Amino acid sequence: MRLIWWAGTVLAISLISIILSHQHALDPIENLSLTATAPVEESLRNLASPVNDIIDGITDRGGLARENEQLRAENEALRVQLAEQQNLEQLLVEAEQALEVKQSRPEDLLLAANVIAQDPSGFKRQIAINRGLSDNVDEGMAVLSENGSLIGTVSRAYQDFAWVRLVTDPDSVVNAQVNLTTIQPLEGTQPQVLIPETPASPTPAPSPNVLEDPSPTPAPPEPSFVRGVAEGDLRSGIVLDLPSGATVEQGDLVVTSGLGGNYRRALLIGTIKSVDNQLQSPFTRTTLEPATDLGVLDTVLVLISFRPARLEGP
């Protein structure tokens, strides 16, 4: 009987607490708790990180060597691309100067933050950072890695701390696009002109069933990207559903599309790891490899200059 009373009491207190917490009424307590425990947690993380690296190095030596070789090759290819990119950028700057066009997007304002904790729950993928409302960090803001790729969104902001929902969290939804490296028109999409086989009379009457265009307009250029929605997934990390028949391949870059206004355009999310192109499926399902290792984040950057649409209001 006492056990039932105890269970009922804890149940009631817990439910009240959950409701209050969900409505942000207990944020000061949670902020105070993080303030007290953050230094210890950060120290423990800093101690554990190198140990983890050593253990990983010992247990996966062959894998690391292979990865190193692969990364060297990728690095070389990227350097070549960078050189071309710099050349194009220079041309763009010159063109802007010549046309007196003002740059549409101001420089990004990024706020560095340290990762102090990682949620151990299997249902979520979240990290805590030591920046909060007092540093102009707000819920919904995009969070980037040190190298500038998208790692997540601020899901909950306290006075001095914030929780960041990673792009691999099942709640994470990002409008994305795949930048295609080459433009390949799909087979059978070329416009066809049907010509009648027996044009016997010198002045043939136009047939309503025949589509003949003596001066066909040029086909619109194929877009150099495919858009979709990148969602977090407990099993695969990030899943990106694209329109059926999309000609994407392993290694293609995936960036934010900017649609919806919740993320700045062209933030790197990752690369395509696998493509599942089933004939019956209305979508081409791809899985992504995040651009940065989300398990070993130490420092992140909060994009505070870009106000997401969800924060701007109507």
User: DSSP assignment of 168-227, as one string?
Assistant: TSTT-EEEEEEE-SS--PPTT-S------S---SSSPPPPTT----SSPPPPPPPPSEEE
Our finding on whether 40 is near another protein (CB under 8 A) is yes
Minimum CB–partner distance for residue 49 and another protein (Å): 7
* CA geometry: angle 177, 143, 45, nearest 5 deg: 130
**Which amino acid does the sequence have at 238?**
I
- Sign of torsion, CA 85 86 90 91? negative
Number of neighbours of residue 300 by Cβ within 10 angstroms: 22
Task: Please answer whether residues 176 and 256 qualify as being in contact, where contact means their C-beta atoms are separated by less than 8 angstroms.
Answer: yes
By CB under 8 A, is residue 85 in contact with another protein? no
Contact 108, 266 (CB under 8 A): no
For 100, other C-beta atoms within 10 Å of its C-beta total: 6
What CA–CA distance (Å, rounded) separates 54 from 61?
10
Nearest to another protein of 12, 78 (CB atom): 12
**What is the per-residue binding string for another protein in 182-221, x denoting contact by CB under 8 A?**
----------------------------------------
Select from 57, 63, 251, 295 the one that contacts another protein (CB under 8 A): 295
Q: Of 120 and 206, which has the nearer Cβ to another protein?
A: 120
Q: How far is the CB of 233 from another protein (least distance, A)?
A: 8
- Name the minimum Å distance from CB 175 to another protein: 17
Q: Are 241 and 288 in contact (CB under 8 A)?
A: no
- CA-nearest of 258, 260, 226 to 242 is 226
When asked if residue 145 is in the footprint of another protein (CB under 8 A), the reply is no
Question: Taking CB under 8 A as the rule, which mask of x and - marks residues 229-268 in contact with another protein?
Answer: ----xxx---------------------------------
Which of 108, 139, 171, 289 is in the footprint of another protein by CB under 8 A? 171
Restricting to residues 45-64, name those near another protein by CB under 8 A. 45, 47-49, 51-52
At 182, the amino acid letter reads: T
Which span sits near another protein by CB under 8 A: 120-128, 209-217, 218-226, 299-307?
120-128
Using CB under 8 A, list all residues that contact another protein: 3, 6-7, 10-11, 13-18, 20-22, 26, 29-30, 33-34, 37, 40-42, 44-45, 47-49, 51-52, 116-124, 126, 128, 155-156, 163, 170-171, 233-235, 295
